[in-house]
Structure 1
Amino acid sequence: MPTVAGLNSHHSLEFVLMDYAKKREAVLKKIAQEKAKLAALDARVNQSARKLDTKRKVVLGGLLLDAASKDDRFARVLTALLDRIVRDQDRKAFEGWQVPSPALLSSAVSEAPQASAESQEPAQIPSP
């Protein structure tokens, strides 16, 4: 039976298989680590995308509310959109809320106490 570095062929095969098993385990461990890195990267990208989507919705919502307070057409569209809400929990968020409209804005202004122009002071911005 031939020997390799003082080992017979049977021992040599065991040595090669053990070495293979260790290397394989190391490669599998690296693969698992890289998969974890990839999953973390995907999660960060998805989180950033969700934040951007939320910001867009907030900005668009603000624009729509502003437009509705100045133009009855937008107020009617907003009312129609609110009528399309079907989920109870979503509808509850708008209970008692009035769609802003020019009519609502003008009635709020007419109900506000009127001060003379002389007594009105410019608004002060608080310092930090």
Structure 2
Amino acid sequence: MTNRLETALKQYSQAKARLQLAQNRENEKRRKLEARAKFLLGGWMLDEARADPQVARQLCQVIAQFSERDRACFEDLNLLNLEEIPGSSLTSKSIAEESQ
């Protein structure tokens, strides 16, 4: 190969690596923003469910459609604190059973 061709290939390879790095940074930035949005939305949803038994019922019906492994996360942590909702006889398990 000529010296000129080698130089051009090296520059191309370096530019390609810089492009890949920039794309990776953008993808990581987007994933972080998406994770933050999910976190904020999830927190808001849990607060709403804790305050309103009807929202808690709806959220539990959604959770009941998750895989068994994912449902266990919610049941074990009792994130909705269903037993603490005034006037509510809801539990995560009772709603999961009801929706089946």
TM range (shorter): 0.7 to 0.9
**In the alignment, which of 67, 71, 90 is matched to residue 48 of structure 2?**
67
Q: Identity of paired residues, percent?
A: 33
Give the helix-richer structure, 1 or 2. 2
- Match of residue 96 from structure 1: 76
**In the alignment, which of 52, 59, 65 is matched to residue 84 of structure 1?**
65
| Inter-CA distance 26–87: structure 2 relative to 1 (3 Å threshold) | farther
User: Bigger radius of gyration, 1 or 2?
Assistant: 1
The runs of 4+ residues in structure 1 deviating greater than 6 Å are none
Assess if the C-alpha contact under 8 Å between 1:65 and 1:100 holds in 2.
no
- Match of residue 23 from structure 2: 42
Assess if the C-alpha contact under 8 Å between 2:48 and 2:55 holds in 1.
yes
Tell me the distance in 2 between the aligned counterparts of 1:100 and 1:67.
Answer: 12
TM-score of the aligned structures, taking structure 2 as reference length: 0.75
Give the paired residue count. Answer: 86
- Match of residue 11 from structure 2: 30
> Which moved further from structure 2: 92-101 or 53-62?
92-101
Tell me the distance in 1 between the aligned counterparts of 2:84 and 2:39.
Answer: 22
